[in-house]
Amino acid sequence: MKFRWFAIAVMALALAAPAGAQQPIVIKFSHVVAVNTPKGKAADYFKKLAEERTNGKVKVEVYPNSSLFKDGEEMEALQLGSVQMLAPSVSKFGPLGAREFEIFDLPYMFDSFDELHKVTDGPVGKALFKKLESKGITGLAYWDNGFKDMSANKPLRKPEDMKGLKMRIQSSKVLESEMRAYGALPQVMAFSEVYQAMQTGVVDGSENPPSNFYTQKMHEVQKYLALTDHGVIEYAVIVNKKFWDGLPADIRTTLEGAMKDATKYANDIAKKENEDALAAVKASGKTEIIALSPQEKAAWKKVAVAVHKENESRVGRETIEAVYKETGFKP
């Protein structure tokens, strides 16, 4: 009798896992923003393409909204192999020792996505990825979000309006000096904690593109959003190098193709996503949008330019000059 039960159990197991069936390769992809943002949508699109094109040999598990790791944890988790793929904002690479990425944080460096792409798609973008290799990280692509605006509970029209405000920033020394140049008090904080910090008054404001502002519901806790467009949120899609190099070559090639198409998708939708989010903020009636005249914007830019000089040694003069050449920026 016992033997019969044993035989039945063995048969059931054999049916559940047919000989030769292989477990899929799992890519955990963690990010900190909402699903309905440029990055959230592009991550989901990459998952779809990767799974379809590998016929299920690869499974991509996307963890949005800091649900697996948050800022300050995710880079180490990637290096340790607890997660295989991330898409952090390039403003978060300083603590890793790759401070040249803070070139993107120099205020008013980019006037348009075209200028930004000249840098990400050109030699500077490639050289920055090269710097990650010694840290056990491979850079795969750059994804756009958009241009940052300043928010607070008081109207911000002139740089002087920022004086004394506690402003949340990402972990970038360049952003720290940008806020100080405006007379504000910068406070580094994980993205997942910003809403509550605004709600409780731990910070007075922040800088983000409308898509992040709206999907994190910051319009519920910020009365004003000034369209300063003073900087960008750009992402680097990165993977654990050992994991990536260890993939079967055909799978890696297929995934590279899926990433290329997901990148095109990300960069095609980013502008419109931000326009829609800004319209939604306006429609909520909770946050007043402050449009700045060209003269008003010029005043913000004038203050910020000193930040470029101040950070020359941190970001690297050569890198800055290479970017000036691409963007035509004149200090």
Q: Does residue 222 touch ligand LMR according to CB under 6 A?
A: no
Q: How many CA atoms lie within 13 A of 277 on its CB side?
A: 28
Closest contact distance (angstroms) between CB of 172 and ligand LMR is 10
The contact pattern for ligand LMR, residues 170-199, with x = CB under 6 A and - = no contact, is: x--------------------x--------
One residue of 120, 208, 228, 327 binding ligand LMR per CB under 6 A: 208
One residue of 30, 120, 145, 263 binding ligand LMR per CB under 6 A: 145
Which residue, 233 or 323, has its beta carbon nearer to ligand LMR? 233
| CA dihedral of residues 177, 180, 185, 190 (deg, nearest 10) | -20
76 DSSP assignment? H
Q: Does residue 224 touch ligand LMR according to CB under 6 A?
A: no
Look-up of token digits 């000034």: 226
One residue of 212, 267, 287, 327 binding ligand LMR per CB under 6 A: 212
Which among 228, 224, 220 has a CA at the least distance from the CA of 205?
A: 224
Closest contact distance (angstroms) between CB of 125 and ligand LMR is 18
Grouping H, G, I as helix, E, B as strand and the rest as coil, residue 297 is helix
Grouping H, G, I as helix, E, B as strand and the rest as coil, residue 1 is coil
Query: What is the Cα–Cα distance from 326 to 217, expressed in whole angstroms?
Result: 35
One residue of 62, 68, 98, 233 binding ligand LMR per CB under 6 A: 233
Q: Could you tell me how many residues of this chain bind ligand LMR (CB under 6 A)?
A: 9
Q: Does residue 33 touch ligand LMR according to CB under 6 A?
A: yes
CB–CB of 186/176 below 8 Å?
A: yes
Q: Which amino acid is it at 141?
A: A
One residue of 25, 27, 32, 68 binding ligand LMR per CB under 6 A: 32
Which two structure tokens, joined as six digits, stand for 41? 């949508």
Look-up of token digits 């198409």: 261
Query: What is the Cα–Cα distance from 132 to 98, expressed in whole angstroms?
Result: 7
Which residue, 145 or 287, has its beta carbon nearer to ligand LMR? 145
One residue of 66, 84, 89, 267 binding ligand LMR per CB under 6 A: 89
Closest contact distance (angstroms) between CB of 170 and ligand LMR is 5
- Cα angle for residues 199, 162, 205 (degrees, 5° grid): 20
59 DSSP assignment? E
The contact pattern for ligand LMR, residues 287-316, with x = CB under 6 A and - = no contact, is: ------------------------------
What residues line the site for ligand LMR (CB under 6 A)? 32-33, 89, 145, 170, 191, 208, 212, 233
